Amino acid sequence: MRDAADLTFGDSGLDRAAALRARPEEISWLAAAPNARLLPFWRGKPLLAGDAAGWLPLDHPIRDEAREAPLFLGLDDGAPRFALDISAWEPEEEPETLGAFFDPSEQRHPSLPPDHRFAELRGVMTRLSPRDAELAATGKALTGWHATHGFCARCGQRTEAAKAGWQRDCPACGANHFPRTDPVVIVLVTHGDDVLLGRSSFWPEGMYSLLAGFVEPGETIEAAARREVGEETGVALGEVSYLASQPWPFPASLMIGCRAEAAGREIRLDPAELEDALWLGRQELLDALEGTHPKVKPARRGSIARFLLERWLADRLD
């Protein structure tokens, strides 16, 4: 798609400087640079300052909350950028919404100004600049991987961060472990002027989105699209074609957007997969996007599902 770069978390032109990751001396030199900055994360939430990412100097006292070194994200127009996980910090109150599909709570660290707070990335992603959004998505996915992969999958011993945070090594058996990304197909299924939407039971009330699912080992993108749509709704697909992709750090997916024309309209819902599925016409979809549909609320702004639906409605899927 010609405007795929407009997707949230899209390619902002960040220089990831991967060649520097294996050079600890150069990483140390970059961390000491006057223009180096770090973005702290607390349990997956990035630090925000107003409507921007809350970049801090690398010698900020908040580093005392971290258990591991900052992770190198790349060069932002030559300026070094790092992520820092401070999930060990314990705020005075922890809300019950932590870990929910969307956590509206915000946390403020005592060492930071009042306008600095940790907030759910889903709620602010469309307000960030393209560069801050890409860096925040990368930092969230990377800190999340370290938090859940502290032990070797081969021998069970504790691993150590390496290559500026882009690898974990096992000192016991010598295994190397790398950040994972899970491919997910998300499919714009149409039949004439109608589009197929579904909802999961754990989503916010009334929210419907495009059908999606993980690509399995040994499976092509096209096969995964046919299987997922078939399993969830019983709808068979014609030709499947690729549209665009989006990194989705919730926790570490790559959404692969496709389109397909359905061979028929009959829905045979699998309640183990979806709570509901329906066909929506163009006017109904427009009503949903404008917030006036009596039943359907569309996918969140910033998601590839919303992006594809809006462009299908405007006949801009090219």
Cα 151 from chain centroid (whole Å): 24
- How far apart CA 45 and CA 54 sit, in angstroms, is 11
Q: Which helix (H) or strand (E) holds 79?
A: strand 79-85
Least Cα distance to 133 among 52, 78, 72 occurs for 52
Domains and CATH numbers, the chain: 4-148 (no CATH), 151-179 (no CATH), 182-313 (3.90.79.10)
What gap in Å lies between CA 40 and CA 71, rounded to an integer? 10
Please tell me whether residue 213 adopts helix, strand or coil conformation: strand
User: pLDDT tens string for the chain (318 positions)?
Assistant: 777 778 999 999 999 999 999 999 999 999 999 999 999 999 999 999 998 999 999 999 999 999 999 999 999 999 999 999 999 999 988 888 887 888 999 999 999 999 999 999 999 999 999 999 999 999 999 999 999 999 999 999 999 999 999 999 999 999 999 999 999 999 999 999 999 999 999 999 999 999 999 999 999 999 999 999 999 999 999 999 999 999 999 999 999 999 999 999 999 999 999 999 999 999 999 999 999 999 999 999 999 999 999 999 999 998
Report the 10 Å Cβ neighbour count for 73.
25
Whether the pTM exceeds 0.85: the reply is yes
